[in-house]
Protein backbone atom coordinates (compact mmCIF):
# COMPACT_ATOMS: atom_id res chain seq x y z
CA UNK A 1 0.00 0.00 0.00
CA UNK A 2 1.29 3.49 -0.87
CA UNK A 3 1.66 6.09 1.86
CA UNK A 4 -0.97 8.85 1.95
CA UNK A 5 -0.53 12.58 1.56
CA UNK A 6 -0.11 14.99 4.44
CA UNK A 7 -1.68 18.44 3.90
CA UNK A 8 -1.53 21.22 6.49
CA UNK A 9 -3.35 24.57 6.67
CA UNK A 10 -1.62 27.53 8.27
CA UNK A 11 -2.35 31.20 8.79
CA UNK A 12 -3.18 33.84 11.35
CA UNK A 13 -6.37 34.33 13.34
CA UNK A 14 -9.57 34.68 11.34
CA UNK A 15 -7.97 33.62 8.05
CA UNK A 16 -10.74 31.11 7.36
CA UNK A 17 -8.29 28.20 7.18
CA UNK A 18 -10.43 25.89 9.37
CA UNK A 19 -13.36 26.30 6.98
CA UNK A 20 -11.04 25.61 4.06
CA UNK A 21 -9.50 22.53 5.70
CA UNK A 22 -13.00 21.10 6.17
CA UNK A 23 -14.00 21.97 2.59
CA UNK A 24 -10.90 20.31 1.16
CA UNK A 25 -11.54 17.18 3.24
CA UNK A 26 -15.14 17.06 1.95
CA UNK A 27 -13.99 17.47 -1.65
CA UNK A 28 -11.34 14.74 -1.36
CA UNK A 29 -13.91 12.42 0.23
CA UNK A 30 -16.40 13.18 -2.56
CA UNK A 31 -13.68 12.27 -5.09
CA UNK A 32 -13.36 8.86 -3.44
CA UNK A 33 -10.26 9.39 -1.28
CA UNK A 34 -9.95 8.19 2.31
CA UNK A 35 -9.43 11.30 4.46
CA UNK A 36 -8.56 12.01 8.08
CA UNK A 37 -9.28 15.59 9.08
CA UNK A 38 -7.65 16.80 12.25
CA UNK A 39 -6.23 19.87 14.01
CA UNK A 40 -3.54 21.20 16.29
CA UNK A 41 -3.10 21.72 19.11
CA UNK A 42 -5.10 18.56 19.68
CA UNK A 43 -6.19 15.82 17.32
CA UNK A 44 -5.71 12.87 19.71
CA UNK A 45 -7.35 12.40 23.13
CA UNK A 46 -4.14 13.20 25.04
CA UNK A 47 -3.32 16.18 22.81
CA UNK A 48 -6.87 17.55 23.21
CA UNK A 49 -6.31 17.50 27.01
CA UNK A 50 -3.13 19.52 26.48
CA UNK A 51 -5.02 21.87 24.14
CA UNK A 52 -7.54 22.66 26.85
CA UNK A 53 -4.68 23.48 29.21
CA UNK A 54 -2.66 25.56 26.70
CA UNK A 55 -5.65 27.66 25.57
CA UNK A 56 -7.18 28.08 29.02
CA UNK A 57 -7.65 31.86 29.39
CA UNK A 58 -7.32 31.52 33.18
CA UNK A 59 -3.78 30.15 32.94
CA UNK A 60 -1.18 31.80 35.19
CA UNK A 61 1.78 33.58 33.56
CA UNK A 62 4.19 30.87 32.52
CA UNK A 63 7.42 30.19 30.70
CA UNK A 64 7.24 30.49 26.88
CA UNK A 65 9.61 27.52 26.60
CA UNK A 66 7.38 25.42 28.86
CA UNK A 67 4.45 26.30 26.62
CA UNK A 68 6.39 25.40 23.45
CA UNK A 69 7.21 22.04 25.02
CA UNK A 70 3.48 21.44 25.61
CA UNK A 71 2.75 22.12 21.93
CA UNK A 72 5.59 19.73 21.08
CA UNK A 73 4.25 17.08 23.45
CA UNK A 74 0.75 17.36 21.99
CA UNK A 75 2.25 17.08 18.47
CA UNK A 76 4.29 13.99 19.36
CA UNK A 77 1.15 12.18 20.55
CA UNK A 78 -0.95 13.39 17.62
CA UNK A 79 1.68 12.15 15.16
CA UNK A 80 2.02 8.77 16.84
CA UNK A 81 -1.68 8.12 17.52
CA UNK A 82 -3.36 9.66 14.49
CA UNK A 83 -1.24 11.13 11.68
CA UNK A 84 1.36 8.40 11.06
CA UNK A 85 -1.14 5.50 11.23
CA UNK A 86 -3.48 7.31 8.81
CA UNK A 87 -0.66 8.03 6.33
CA UNK A 88 0.58 4.45 6.61
CA UNK A 89 -2.95 3.29 5.73
CA UNK A 90 -2.78 5.39 2.53
CA UNK A 91 -5.16 8.09 3.73
CA UNK A 92 -5.02 11.83 3.08
CA UNK A 93 -4.43 13.69 6.33
CA UNK A 94 -5.75 17.27 6.37
CA UNK A 95 -4.53 19.10 9.46
CA UNK A 96 -5.66 22.55 10.64
CA UNK A 97 -2.29 23.98 11.87
CA UNK A 98 0.93 22.05 12.41
CA UNK A 99 4.59 22.79 13.05
CA UNK A 100 4.70 26.07 11.08
CA UNK A 101 2.36 27.49 13.75
CA UNK A 102 5.00 26.73 16.38
CA UNK A 103 7.73 28.29 14.24
CA UNK A 104 5.67 31.45 13.84
CA UNK A 105 3.66 31.86 17.09
CA UNK A 106 6.37 30.69 19.50
CA UNK A 107 9.45 31.60 17.42
CA UNK A 108 9.13 34.36 14.83
CA UNK A 109 6.46 36.38 16.67
CA UNK A 110 7.00 34.79 20.09
CA UNK A 111 9.65 34.51 22.76
CA UNK A 112 11.36 31.18 22.12
CA UNK A 113 14.71 30.93 20.37
CA UNK A 114 13.96 29.71 16.81
CA UNK A 115 17.01 27.40 16.79
CA UNK A 116 15.64 25.60 19.81
CA UNK A 117 12.31 25.15 18.04
CA UNK A 118 14.11 23.83 14.96
CA UNK A 119 15.80 21.18 17.08
CA UNK A 120 12.48 20.24 18.70
CA UNK A 121 10.82 20.00 15.28
CA UNK A 122 13.52 17.61 14.09
CA UNK A 123 12.97 15.37 17.11
CA UNK A 124 9.16 15.41 17.06
CA UNK A 125 8.22 15.62 13.36
CA UNK A 126 11.15 13.54 12.03
CA UNK A 127 10.30 12.38 8.49
CA UNK A 128 6.56 13.19 8.79
CA UNK A 129 6.79 16.58 7.10
CA UNK A 130 3.73 17.91 5.28
CA UNK A 131 3.67 17.15 1.54
CA UNK A 132 1.74 20.37 1.02
CA UNK A 133 1.14 23.37 3.26
CA UNK A 134 -1.57 25.87 2.35
CA UNK A 135 -0.92 29.28 3.88
CA UNK A 136 -4.18 31.21 3.98
CA UNK A 137 -2.95 34.79 3.91
CA UNK A 138 -4.97 37.73 5.14
CA UNK A 139 -4.09 41.23 6.47
CA UNK A 140 -3.89 41.17 10.27
CA UNK A 141 -6.57 43.85 10.67
CA UNK A 142 -9.12 41.86 8.69
CA UNK A 143 -8.27 38.56 10.36
CA UNK A 144 -8.58 40.09 13.82
CA UNK A 145 -11.93 41.70 12.95
CA UNK A 146 -13.23 38.33 11.74
CA UNK A 147 -11.90 36.52 14.81
CA UNK A 148 -13.52 38.98 17.21
CA UNK A 149 -16.82 38.66 15.33
CA UNK A 150 -16.55 34.92 15.97
CA UNK A 151 -15.87 35.46 19.67
CA UNK A 152 -18.83 37.79 20.05
CA UNK A 153 -21.30 35.53 18.28
CA UNK A 154 -23.62 33.67 20.67
CA UNK A 155 -23.05 29.89 20.46
CA UNK A 156 -26.54 29.19 19.06
CA UNK A 157 -26.12 31.66 16.21
CA UNK A 158 -24.09 30.92 13.08
CA UNK A 159 -21.00 33.14 12.83
CA UNK A 160 -20.04 34.40 9.39
CA UNK A 161 -16.73 32.54 9.15
CA UNK A 162 -16.97 29.27 11.03
CA UNK A 163 -18.93 27.38 13.61
CA UNK A 164 -17.37 27.46 17.11
CA UNK A 165 -15.53 24.19 17.69
CA UNK A 166 -15.73 24.34 21.47
CA UNK A 167 -17.10 26.37 24.41
CA UNK A 168 -16.59 30.11 24.00
CA UNK A 169 -14.44 30.41 27.12
CA UNK A 170 -11.69 28.44 25.38
CA UNK A 171 -12.10 30.18 22.06
CA UNK A 172 -11.51 33.49 23.78
CA UNK A 173 -7.92 32.38 24.03
CA UNK A 174 -4.82 34.33 24.86
CA UNK A 175 -3.36 34.38 21.36
CA UNK A 176 -6.35 36.17 19.91
CA UNK A 177 -6.12 38.72 22.72
CA UNK A 178 -2.65 39.97 21.64
CA UNK A 179 -2.14 43.25 19.82
CA UNK A 180 -2.11 44.14 16.13
CA UNK A 181 1.72 44.18 15.90
CA UNK A 182 1.84 40.57 17.06
CA UNK A 183 -0.68 39.56 14.38
CA UNK A 184 1.22 41.47 11.69
CA UNK A 185 4.31 39.49 12.69
CA UNK A 186 2.36 36.27 12.42
CA UNK A 187 1.38 37.08 8.86
CA UNK A 188 4.97 38.01 7.99
CA UNK A 189 6.23 34.75 9.51
CA UNK A 190 3.91 32.48 7.54
CA UNK A 191 4.63 34.28 4.26
CA UNK A 192 8.36 34.03 4.98
CA UNK A 193 8.15 30.26 5.53
CA UNK A 194 6.30 29.92 2.22
CA UNK A 195 8.98 32.00 0.50
CA UNK A 196 11.76 29.83 1.91
CA UNK A 197 10.03 26.50 1.17
CA UNK A 198 8.20 26.98 -2.13
CA UNK A 199 8.21 23.24 -2.96
CA UNK A 200 6.09 22.54 0.11
CA UNK A 201 4.03 25.73 0.53
CA UNK A 202 1.36 27.52 -1.46
CA UNK A 203 -0.01 30.91 -0.37
CA UNK A 204 -3.68 31.53 -1.11
CA UNK A 205 -5.44 34.87 -0.78
CA UNK A 206 -7.80 34.60 2.20
CA UNK A 207 -9.55 37.85 1.27
CA UNK A 208 -11.30 36.17 -1.63
CA UNK A 209 -14.74 34.63 -1.14
CA UNK A 210 -14.74 31.19 0.57
CA UNK A 211 -15.70 29.59 -2.77
CA UNK A 212 -12.80 31.24 -4.58
CA UNK A 213 -10.33 30.29 -1.84
CA UNK A 214 -11.59 26.69 -2.00
CA UNK A 215 -11.01 26.72 -5.77
CA UNK A 216 -7.42 27.94 -5.28
CA UNK A 217 -6.80 25.29 -2.62
CA UNK A 218 -8.16 22.57 -4.88
CA UNK A 219 -6.00 23.77 -7.78
CA UNK A 220 -2.93 23.54 -5.53
CA UNK A 221 -3.81 20.03 -4.35
CA UNK A 222 -4.38 18.89 -7.91
CA UNK A 223 -1.21 20.32 -9.36
CA UNK A 224 1.06 19.50 -6.40
CA UNK A 225 -0.28 16.10 -5.35
CA UNK A 226 -3.02 14.50 -7.44
CA UNK A 227 -1.37 14.95 -10.85
CA UNK A 228 1.83 13.63 -9.40
CA UNK A 229 0.03 10.56 -8.01
CA UNK A 230 -1.45 9.49 -11.35
P1 LIG B 1 -7.74 27.85 17.71
O2 LIG B 1 -8.96 28.23 18.46
O3 LIG B 1 -7.70 26.50 17.08
O4 LIG B 1 -7.40 28.99 16.67
P5 LIG B 1 -7.39 29.00 15.11
O6 LIG B 1 -8.83 28.86 14.68
O7 LIG B 1 -6.77 30.31 14.77
O8 LIG B 1 -6.55 27.82 14.66
O9 LIG B 1 -6.52 28.02 18.70
C10 LIG B 1 -5.24 27.60 18.43
C11 LIG B 1 -4.27 28.68 18.87
O12 LIG B 1 -3.01 28.07 19.18
C13 LIG B 1 -4.02 29.71 17.79
O14 LIG B 1 -4.04 30.99 18.36
C15 LIG B 1 -2.59 29.40 17.33
C16 LIG B 1 -1.96 28.75 18.52
N17 LIG B 1 -0.88 27.78 18.22
C18 LIG B 1 0.43 28.07 18.63
O19 LIG B 1 0.69 29.11 19.22
N20 LIG B 1 1.42 27.16 18.36
C21 LIG B 1 1.18 25.98 17.73
O22 LIG B 1 2.10 25.17 17.51
C23 LIG B 1 -0.18 25.70 17.32
C24 LIG B 1 -0.49 24.41 16.63
C25 LIG B 1 -1.17 26.62 17.60
pLDDT computed for residue 228 by the predictor: 66
Over the chain, what is the mean pLDDT? 90
Ligand 1, residues 16, 41, 98, 178: which to mutate, most atoms within 8 A of Cβ? 41
Domain edges within the chain: 6-229
Residues 6+ apart with CB under 8 A from 154: none
41 CA to middle of ligand 1, Å? 6
% the chain with pLDDT above 90: 77
The 10s digit of each residue's pLDDT in 74-107 is 999 999 999 999 999 999 999 999 999 999 999 9
CATH for 6-229 is 3.40.50.300
CA of 93 to the centre of ligand 1 (A): 18
* Rounded Cα distance, 156 and 178, in Å: 26
Tens digit of pLDDT for each residue in 8-41?
999 998 999 999 999 999 999 999 999 999 999 9
Dist CA 33 CA 25 (whole Å): 9
Residue nearest to atom 20 of ligand 1 (CA): 102
Query: What is the tens place of the pLDDT at every residue in 110-146?
Result: 999 999 999 999 999 999 999 999 999 999 999 988 8
Amino acid sequence: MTAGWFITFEGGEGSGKSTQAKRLADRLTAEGHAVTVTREPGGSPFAERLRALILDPKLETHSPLAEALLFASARADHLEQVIRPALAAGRFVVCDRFSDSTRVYQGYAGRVEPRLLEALELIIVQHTKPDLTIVVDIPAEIGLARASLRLNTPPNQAPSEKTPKQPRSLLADRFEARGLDFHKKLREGFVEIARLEPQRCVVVDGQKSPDDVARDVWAAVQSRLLNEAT
